[in-house]
Amino acid sequence: MMTWEEFVAACLPESHTVLVEALTGAGPDGDVYADAVSVPLCYVEQRQRRVRAATQDVSGSEVIGSTTVYGPASITATVGAMVTDPWGDRRKVLSVARRSAAGLALPEHTELVLE
């Protein structure tokens, strides 16, 4: 099985680095975030896609994500965290998917869909 690092080295001419700020709670002025953590070896794709909103109800409402970040399985981001892309845009995480290799010759990785 190929690791994410091997995949990036073999398939991406230039990888991206993003900054991830974990959502730590809410304060009197809104959401509170941890200090940014640099996450190298990512691929950032800017395209619109529909994702299910992270709400408590089961209404199935959808939102539009504008950016998808593919990165190492070790990314520790949750819905609501903030990510700064390589171009300086800071966006909220709408969806997190942990992708398993499932026995295929593909790397395990994390997919983040951003506002």
Q: Which residues of 15-43 are buried (b: 16+ CB within 10 A; e: fewer)?
A: bbebbbbbbeeeeeeeeeeeeeeebebbb
Q: Which domains does the chain have, with CATH numbers?
A: 4-114 (2.40.10)
> Measured between alpha carbons, how far is 108 from 101 in angstroms, rounded to an integer?
5
Model pLDDT for residues 9-68, shown as the tens digit of each residue: 999 989 999 999 999 999 999 999 999 999 999 999 988 777 766 655 555 677 777 899
Q: What pLDDT, on the 0 to 100 scale, is given for residue 62?
A: 76
For residue 99, the tally of other CB atoms under 10 A from its CB is 14
pTM of the model: 0.85
